[in-house]
A and B are shown apart, each in its own frame.
Chain A
């Protein structure tokens, strides 16, 4: 009713006149201006968005549209020289959760936790950590589940909405811990590594080589990731797979190592619970046949990431399993150094093969008495006898006569005191002391008495087992110092050889052939002679040249009177044995270093013997059968 009255009133309002209408129409011009102004604003805004910043928005639109998923490439296999697979890959099944597909997450997790043998809170934690990331991205709940769990999850997938199985290649170690310290292991890329890495290749969560060959040869082994380009809508649902680039598997690396020899060496070292290193190398090429460091890491602990406890145990282990003792540890060389002293003596003309020194069991120099290891003395000693029976007194006198700087000079000619350049990380360089070195680093004048210690491989002298092997090979081949190498060939997935072994001579000692021969005669006597220090190493049908070494760990005489087994482990002498064979035409050099192994012959010799027996097995069997036929 009120409304009707209200409209009535409006109806009564009087009509217009022409003048006012014209005034009103003039105001329309203002309206037109407003329209044009707003039109201009919108056009300018469009220009800014589409023309000025069009390229930026185009890129954003593209990123918006295409979701790129990287597909991990299978890592290159690692084989031994005979094609035995040492490291390959297998699929690892990981349990992942995709939140956008999940209904009733709480219940799903409650059901999932016992299956994965995890606590529900642990699973929730992982999901909370991923909050803020798009809901279509998988969250990894457990890695490398077993077949039983996999089968259970697949059969009951309706109970686990949003839970998926993701397949990822992981390493398989066919020979367990074989050469573990040399091959190394993999791990998730760290933030630091990621910061330095090429972003086109690496992204967070990638698995990369962390140590050893896996790290050094990362670029060969990793291959190229594949990519799946899929169009997704704003909610993250995949619309279609646009393009898929298959991953390019990593390159296959064939090593110079021989699995059989490596196994023999490791078995021997492990059986005796020996801590130390074994290196076997081809004398005329530098190909490494065996590189052992014991105790080694347990490679299985690293698959899928090592646990904190295991890592701590490795770090705390007094035998340092993380260190590759073949290259990453310096040791006093002990009597194995006597070949250097001999070569220096011969080279400097201080001695020849007929020179004889008398050994009463000690050598007096200055106001000190330097003992021979044999208290009763060796009597008259020539070079051959001095080497074969490791007479300290003989070498004290040679060392004293040539001086420490000449010892260092010849040591360096044989490859000591500098890195061998082997394809391994953190190689130690050893130490060949000189007078200048002492002045510079120890702030002291060289004492002549110290030369005597150096001459028998004690004192400041330090070598790595691989240096010792290179030195032995150099003695055996007559002066050619080769860089020890691990890689025979690198083959890409198409089968093309992209890299193949070439011997690399680092140094060649010329004009000393005769001296090398003399020293080798002594070394053969060490193994083959009746009074040699390594008679136990001798193998029937094979002539071996070698040298034992016993390196004092401490000088303290306190333990000297004790029986060997009563000396505390860490104060026991290191045992060295280095050798080559066959004596006539050397092929292989073997160096064994056993920490606190007491005696070179007994502590290190058997390992070398086992390696040589394995290396020459076929030939020895033939010889033996021929001999049997002849009889």
Chain B
């Protein structure tokens, strides 16, 4: 039984909560417009997303209800469960858009690759918090984290969802670099990555994946084909101008010029309707949330807390950056959502749970009574 400490409430971070609420509110607002006309869907996406937010709140509350240090041990079954789901999804999952895999739970189509990202963050945070090396990790010491990353990476790559699988690599690199490596480790890892990348381009990438990357290099060349999405997304954002077309007035989105307008390209709808000014406000709040996450990490009481908070920020930050750079035409179209903003229950629940962990670290920044008592 977990004892509820009075200080938990005292340390509940209202600023973090405020940022989360603001982003979620704007996101839901945006989704209402982005999925217009709603008659095209069985249940309008903003309604479904609303339910997911409620579930997300539950996930958030659950995530703060226990001491995050419990994750050291909870981590194992969580890891095993997610890998199991990924395997299930690979064999019996539904395919959507030729890449992502879902497990149909009836009321909800679970995309196990989303919680898998958080799973990796927790696993790595747990690993790196237990072993500390003054002069950095050697390559041999990294075998375990590499293995932890490689299992979901390969399973998702086989789906085949290149974009999502690369997220695991990015999380691994971010967290590993953060905890300090030996110089020799950098060199070896770097050359290994280059070699693997070349091999992957030649042998592993599917033609459509190569096509996407090539299209990205020159999207205007084929505006009705593969470059279409990027061009339309740029037109949507650009046509918003300084102050935007006004809420619900975005023509690019409403007339279906914009692809995936309520999922991966949801922010393009915001950009079109609210313009540069609105985008600046939105991104300002979004990035303040991330910077606040760093602040939380700085005030964490132990190494695990720092790594967890940093990992959660990493998870949200890189997805957001990749998504935004894609929408703004700097990256090829990869199926990476903008956390909290893009429609999708798996991503939203995962993100809310991750933010819950962040809050958990924040709330338990004081020295625990247990350690005082013992």
Q: Which residues of A contact B (CB under 8 A)?
A: 3, 6-7, 9-11, 13-17, 20-21, 24-25, 27-28, 31-32, 35-36, 38-39, 42-43, 45-47, 49-51, 53-58, 60-62, 64-65, 134, 231-235, 239
Contact = CB atoms under 8 A, between A and B. Distances in A.
Contact of B302 (A11, A16, A28, A45): A16
Given A35-B290, A45-B328, A50 B276 contact: yes
Contacts of B235: 57, 60-61, 64
Give the secondary structure class of A's interface.
helix
A238 to B, nearest CB: 11
Interface string B244-265: 0000000110011111000000
Interface string B228-240: 1000101111111
Contacts of B298: 25, 28
B81 interface: no
17 contacts: A6-B144, A13-B127, A16-B132, A27-B178, A28-B294, A35-B317, A42-B283, A46-B271, A46-B283, A47-B276, A54-B241, A56-B238, A57-B239, A61-B236, A64-B255, A231-B255, A233-B255
Given A35-B287, A65-B255, A50 B279 contact: yes
Contacts of B314: 31
Contact of B303 (A3, A24, A38, A54): A24
B359 interface: no
Contacts of A10: 126-127, 130, 144
A60 to B, nearest CB: 5
Interface string B73-94: 1001000100000000000000
Contacts of A55: 241
B296 to A, nearest CB: 10
A503 B313 CA distance: 90
Contacts of A20: 132, 134, 303
A45 B306 contact: no
A61 B325 CA distance: 20
* B129, B228, B259, most chain A CB atoms within 10 A: B129
A24 B241 contact: no
Given A24-B306, A42-B325, A65-B255, A53 B131 contact: no
Query: When A and B form their complex, which 9 residue pairs have the shortest distance between CB atoms, in order from nearest?
Result: A57-B238, A13-B130, A61-B239, A54-B241, A233-B256, A50-B276, A234-B257, A49-B238, A13-B131
B276 A46 contact: yes
Contacts of B72: 11
A50 B324 contact: no
A46 to B, nearest CB: 5
A14 B280 contact: no
Nearest to B174: A31
Nearest to A20: B132
A49 B237 contact: yes
A60 B239 contact: yes
Given A13-B131, A21-B302, A51 B234 contact: no
Nearest to B290: A35
B256 A35 contact: no
Contact of B238 (A7, A27, A54): A54
Contacts of A13: 127, 130-131
Nearest to A34: B317
Contacts of B193: none
Chain B contact patch, size range = 35 or more
B137 interface: no
Given A49-B328, A60-B235, A61-B257, 7 more contacts: A16-B132, A21-B302, A42-B283, A42-B328, A57-B237, A233-B255, A234-B258
B54 interface: no
Nearest to A235: B256
A337 to B, nearest CB: 70
A57 B155 CA distance: 40
A41 B279 CA distance: 13
B51 interface: no
Contacts of B241: 50-51, 54-55, 57-58
Given A10-B144, A24-B179, A64-B252, A54 B239 contact: yes
Contacts of B179: 24
Nearest to A31: B294
Nearest to B178: A27
Contacts of B228: 234
A14 to B, nearest CB: 7
B294 A32 contact: yes
Contacts of B56: none
Contacts of A231: 251, 255
B310 interface: yes
A497 B202 CA distance: 76
Contacts of B240: 50, 54
Contacts of B329: 49
Nearest to B234: A49
A111 B76 CA distance: 66
* A21, A27, A31, A231, most chain B CB atoms within 10 A: A31
B339 interface: no
A17 B132 CA distance: 9
Contact of B255 (A11, A28, A42, A234): A234
Contacts of A39: 283, 287
Contacts of A14: 130-131
Interface string B154-189: 000000000000000000000000111000000000
Contacts of B76: 7
Nearest to B133: A20
B283 A43 contact: yes
A35 B174 CA distance: 12
B255 to A, nearest CB: 5
Nearest to B180: A27
B62 interface: no
B264 to A, nearest CB: 16
Contact of A25 (B131, B232, B297): B297
B217 interface: no
Contacts of A239: 255
